[in-house]
Structure 1
Amino acid sequence: MNYFGITAGDPCGVGPEVVLKALRRRPELIGRCVVFGSAPMLDWYRGRLEIETPLRLIDNAAQVQAGCINVVDPYPVPFEEITIGQVSPVGGRCAFLAVRTAIDWALARRIGCVVTAPLNKEAMRKAGYQYAGHTEIFGEFTHGESYAMLLWSESLKVIHATTHVSMREACDLVTGQREYDVIHLAHDTLRKAGYEKPRIAVAGLNAHAGEHGLFGREEIEQIAPAIERCRAEGLEVSGPLPPDTVFLRAHKGEFDLVVAQYHDQGHIPLKLLAFDAGVNVTVGLDVVRTSVDHGTAFDIAGRLIAREDSMLAAIDLGEKLAQ
């Protein structure tokens, strides 16, 4: 099996555009991929981007044909029913069903990994799907004892102990077992990517990593014991370290990856350093999933100014991890 899957995301956003721009820039990818999403919208962008390679609608892997952009459209909707640049139930349903279908193909081993373009949480909820994002969808429909969101770039790599929850709930979810699991997920992923002995840093939850209990005891009671447990197993782990300096230290090369305790703690430094080239990876599941690290960008949808760099990076990393 040499194919990988790409979901085109919410058709009202920039997803279809960045998918086709990536294939236009790297035409050798066309023969290795299957695109899941709105065929009419993809064909519209194909014309506007002046891509000569034709679209081919398929239902199964046996129908994949060389020299075509092979598309699976799980929710056929006429182009006129899709409003570019607006949140809509149609867009949410298209995006969700594309992801679900791609997951089924990956579980059946028809594709080696799934690369996802952005979807919109509000649009999904309008369509009746109560998921916080891609990570939670993959967590629901694939298999794995634990999973986590990992942001990957050449400048910085960050894995998250918690993601799409309130700050109050995030504090409760920072437990010793979760820290232990996330450190191992980070270590295993880096090993798959070619790091012989990964160097992992763990950020504290509180200011100054708790300052020896003055600003909170999560570091003492939960995070530090998990780190010691991992060290006893031979992993190279440092922390808990003050979150206001640990990301800079990793960026300068002291660590290969940082464990962030909550969503924005990890996303802010990564997006500051690599907004257009970051990749979002769901690790710990039996399906390899990578994604662009940007949103649907409804404000620029249809204007042909979205950049495909993150999509290309996500494809390259997805194929590497799938091997």
Structure 2
Amino acid sequence: MTTEKPIIAIPMGDPAGIGPEITVKSLTKKEIYDVSKPLIIGDSKVIERAIDIVSADVTINEITSPEDGKYVLGTIDVINLNNIDIDKLEYGEVSVQGGQGAFEYIKKSVELALAGQVHALATTPINKESLKAAEVPYIGHTEMLEDLAGSNDPLTMFEVRGMRIFFLTRHLSLKDAIGQMTKERVADYLVRCDKALQRLGVENRRFAVAGLNPHSGEGGLFGMEEVEEIKPGIKMAVEAGIDAVGPVPADSVFFQALNGKYDAVLSLYHDQGHIAAKMTDFHRTISITNGLPFLRTSVDHGTAFDIAGKNIAESISLEEAIKLAAQYAPNFTSYNM
């Protein structure tokens, strides 16, 4: 499939959250259409209500295939799955139809990506409680995409203001995460992270691995994890040809990466990297899932049930996710921009 701009599928997320609102707000911006062809996968009735809520001057164009989209400012192209009873939709409420609907939008988006009909996904928030209520057997996007795409242990990467952060572990307690910090895993992840950046088209790939303990353990004074596992894992990766250093104390490594000393940081656990990214710029922290057969970017915030339907949700994060998907999409597909 050849096109001037990539088609970016946007599953609209949980209909009771802010996903539909921020999707509509994003698609009122000219800069989105300058770089991409955005396509909503969702429910037209929910999108219509979101249009009313945000007072957007747009019309809906329902299509059944991505190739039929108009992709022009002022028209929102939607593949309508028609799976929400709008009369029973309550903003900010956990619901079976919300969880099931959100899953179905993602599933359809993945099917389109695997078929080569869209070039990337830019996902919006889903709610874990609604997924559970609908008996959807996944805790979040990454696990869902991993299974639907037939991938194994995809890599999560954050990008914010040029700083890239990978995660050695994700949704684990800190105690369990420390148990996963083996030299073999550190080495394997550095090799895989290097391949991920290479696929994204990043030419310079110098990695720093964050330390776990204060001052990276001070040679064992404050813990032996760096001495026994993390540093040997880095050494194994270097021997495999990866440009990596560390462990670098976590209180300085992210600042150094933000200022260009490193091209990416391997964060050892969930909050270590999340805090660094979101304190840098909460709204512009974008999540990229590497290791899938297609490119996926995402907002890094939740469904915000407390403000859903009130027209106060910011769309900056989704706008950045769409633009980043458009930027990296040519490296995942054979077409020319």
Structure 1-normalised TM-score? 0.92
- Structure 2 segments unaligned to the other structure (5+ residues): 331-337
Counterpart-to-counterpart distance in 1, 2:197 and 2:26: 25
Correspondence for 1:130 among 125, 137, 140: 137
Runs of 4 or more, structure 1, over 4 Å off, are none
Q: Which runs of 5+ in 1 are unaligned?
A: none
Provide the TM-score with structure 2 as the length reference. 0.89
Question: How much has 1:53 moved relative to structure 2?
Answer: 3.0
The answer on 1:61 being equivalent to 2:60 is: no
Alpha-carbon contact 1:115-1:318 (below 8 Å) kept: yes
The residue correspondences of 1:87-98 to structure 2 (distance < 5 A) are 87-98=94-105
Q: CA deviation at 1:66?
A: 4.8
Q: Which amino acid aligns with 2:66?
A: A
Alignment of 1:297-308 (within 5 A): 297-308=304-315
1:227-306 mapped onto 2 (5 Å cutoff): 227-306=234-313
For the residue of structure 2 that corresponds to 1:225, the secondary structure is helix
Count of aligned pairs between the two proteins: 323
2:40 aligns with 35
Residue 52 of structure 2 aligns with which residue? 47
Q: Match for 1:12: what amino acid?
A: A
Task: Name whichever of 281-290 and 143-152 sits farther off.
Answer: 143-152
| 2:78 partner amino acid | V
Contact 2:122 2:298 in 1 (8 A): yes
**Whole-angstrom distance in 2 between the partners of 1:262 and 1:7:** 28
Provide the C-alpha distance between the structure 2 equivalents of 1:238 and 1:215, rounded to a whole number of angstroms.
Answer: 20
Code of the residue aligned with 1:25 in structure 2: it is K
State the AA in 2 paired with 1:7: P
Shift of 1:202: 0.3
Give how far 1:182 is off.
2.4
Counterpart mapping for 1:159-174 below 5 A = 159-174=166-181
- The alpha carbon displacement at 1:18 in A equals 0.9
1:322 to 329, 333, 336: 329
Read off the aligned partner of 2:69 and give its amino acid letter: V
- Within-5 A mapping of 1:135-214: 135-154=142-161, 156-214=163-221
CA distance in 1, matches of 2:186, 2:150: 20
Q: In structure 2, the residue corresponding to 1:299 is in which secondary structure? A: coil
CA distance in 1, matches of 2:132, 2:298: 20
Residue pair 1:146, 1:181 contacting (<8 A) in 2 also: no
What RMSD, in angstroms, separates the aligned Cα atoms of the two structures? 2.1
Between stretches 222-231 and 37-46, larger displacement belongs to: 222-231
> What is the identity percentage for the equivalent residue pairs of Structure 1 and Structure 2?
34
Contact 1:147–1:282 (CA under 8 A) maintained in structure 2: yes
> What one-letter code is carried by the residue in structure 1 that aligns with 2:43?
S
1:23 maps onto 2:30 in alignment? no
Q: Partners of 1:168 and 1:49 in 2: how far apart? A: 44
